[in-house]
Amino acid sequence: MAAISQSRRTGSAVYWLYLMPGLIGFVLVVGLPFAMNVAISFTKWRGIGMPSFVGLANYDRLLGDAAFWSSMQHTLFFVVAMAVIPTILSLILAATLFDYVATQFGQGWSSFFRAGYYLPQILPVSAAGVLWSWILNPHGVLNLVLRGLGLEGSNWLGDPSYAIYAVMGVMVWIQIGYSLVVFMSGLGRVDPSLYEAARLDGAGAPQRFWYITIPMLRPEIAVIALTTTIAALKVFAPVFVLTNGGPDNSTIVPSYFSYTHFFATVRVGYGAAISTAQTAITILLGLMFLRLQTRKGDAR
C-alpha cells in the first residue's frame, strides 16, 4: 500500500512538467494582468499616465452605487436565460434528436437539425444586434406577427418591464446551440442498444430521458452548467448592442457597468474595482459549484 502511494507521488512530480506551459501561460495572460487589475482598483487612473493611489475609495463608491447592485440582480435573470433554460431545452432537444429523429428518420436529419440550431452561435454579436433590433423594435417583425394574430404588440426593448425578458429571449436563442452540440456529442458514446432494450422493456420516452439520458450526460451537464453560468455572470456584448443597459438601467449588467467606466468615462480605477468585485463573486460561485460537482462524483 505504501509502495503504491510512493510511486504515485513520484509520478505526480513528473506530471508537473506537463502543467508547466499551461501554468506559465496562465501567469502571463491571466494571473499577472488580474493582479494588475486589482492594483489598479486602488487608484484613480485614466488609462495612460501615472495612476494616483486612493486606497479603498473606489470600493467605497461601489458599495453605495445603486446601479451596481441592480446590475448584480439582473445577473440572476441572465443565469436563467443563459444557463437554466438553454440547458433544459437542449437536453430535451438532444434526447429527441438522438433517441427519436436519428432512429425514425436517420442520422442525417438529426445532424441537420443540430447544425441549424447551432447557427446562431456563430453569428457575430454585432450583427445579431442589428437583426434583433429589426425584430423587436415597436414597428418590427415580432409586433407585426403578433398584430397579424390579433394580439397586442409591445415595445419590447423600450419598456422597462419587458426589456430584460426580450434580452433574455435573445440569449436563449444564442445559447441553445452550444449546449445542444455538447450534449449530442455526449450521447454519441451511449450505446443505442441501451435505448432499444429500454424500449423493449416498455419504457416510454419520458422514462428513457429520465433514466438513461440524464444519468449518462451527467458530466456534460456539469460542464455546461458551470460554463454557461460563468458566461452569464460576465455577459456583456448582447446587452451592449440591444439596450445599452436601458431603459432606465433595467438591463444593466456588471460587465456593461465596468465597460462603461473602463472606456466611456475612462475612470479606469473604478472600472477595475467593479470587475474585481465581479470576479471575486464569480470565483466564489465557481468554487462552490466545483465542490458540489466533486462531491456528487465521489458519491457515485
Partner 1 sequence: MKTFTRLALMLAATTALTTGAMAEGRTFKVWWYEPADSALGIAWDAALAKFKEAHPDVEVQFELKTFDQINQAGSLILNSSDAPDLMEYNKGNGTAGLVASQGLLAPLDEAYAQYGWDATLNEAALQLGRYDENGVFGSGPLYGIPNYGEFVSVFYNTDMLAAAGLSVPTTLAEFEAVMDAFVAQGVVPIAEAANDYPAQHLMYLLALSQATPEWVADFQGLKAELDPAPFLYAGQKLQEWVEKGYLSKDATGMKADDMAAQFTSGASPFVVTGTWYGANFGGIEGFTASQFLFPGNHLSAGSTGNIWVVPNGADNKDLAYEFISLTLSQDVQNLMGNSGGVPIAADPAQITDRIGSLETELFNQLVAQGGLGFYPDWPVPGFYNEVLQATQAVIGGTATPEEFAQRLKDAYDDGMSM
Partner 2 sequence: MKKTGLTRWVVLGLLVGLLALMLAPIALAVINAVKTAADYAARGPMALPRSFDLSGLRDFWSHVNFPLKLWNSLLLSGCAAVFGVLLSLLNAYAIGIGRVRAGRGILVLILMGIMIPQESLVYPLYYLTKSVGLFDSLWSVIIIFTVLQAAFGTYLLASVLSEFPRELLEAARVDGANRWQILWQVVFPILRPTLAVLATFFFIWTWNEFLLPLVLLASNDHQTISVAMGVLSGQYVSDPTTTAAAALLGILPTLIFFLIFQRTLTRGITVGAVK
71-130 binders of partner 2 (CB under 8 A): 93, 96-97, 100-101, 104-105, 107, 111, 113-128, 130
Residues 253-292 that bind partner 1 (CB under 8 A): 260-261, 263-267
* CB proximity list for 3: less than 8 A, separation 6 or greater: none
- What is the 3-state secondary structure of 60-124? HHHHCCHHHHHHHHHHHHHHHHHHHHHHHHHHHHHHHHHHHHHHHCCHHHHHHHHHHHHHHHHCC
- Calpha distance 231→83 (Å, rounded): 8
- Calpha distance 293→261 (Å, rounded): 36
Nearer to partner 2, 102 or 164 (CB): 102
Instruction: Kindly state the smallest distance separating residue 131's Cβ from partner 2, in Å.
Output: 4
Region near partner 1 per CB under 8 A, out of 8-16, 41-49, 115-123, 167-175 = 41-49
Burial class (CB in 10 A: 0-12, 13-18, 19+), 274: buried
* CB proximity list for 80: less than 8 A, separation 6 or greater: 168
- Calpha distance 86→81 (Å, rounded): 7
Partner from partner 1, partner 2, none binding residue 63, C-beta < 5-8 Å depending on class: none
- Binding test (CB under 8 A) with partner 2, winner from 42, 262, 267, 270: 262
Interface with partner 1 includes 120 (CB under 8 A)?
no
Partner from partner 1, partner 2, none binding residue 268, C-beta < 5-8 Å depending on class: partner 2
- Binding test (CB under 8 A) with partner 1, winner from 96, 111, 249, 282: 249
Instruction: Kindly state the smallest distance separating residue 288's Cβ from partner 1, in Å.
Output: 33
Instruction: Kindly state the smallest distance separating residue 140's Cβ from partner 1, in Å.
Output: 8
Interface positions with partner 1 (CB under 8 A): 46-49, 130, 133-134, 136-140, 155-160, 243-249, 260-261, 263-267
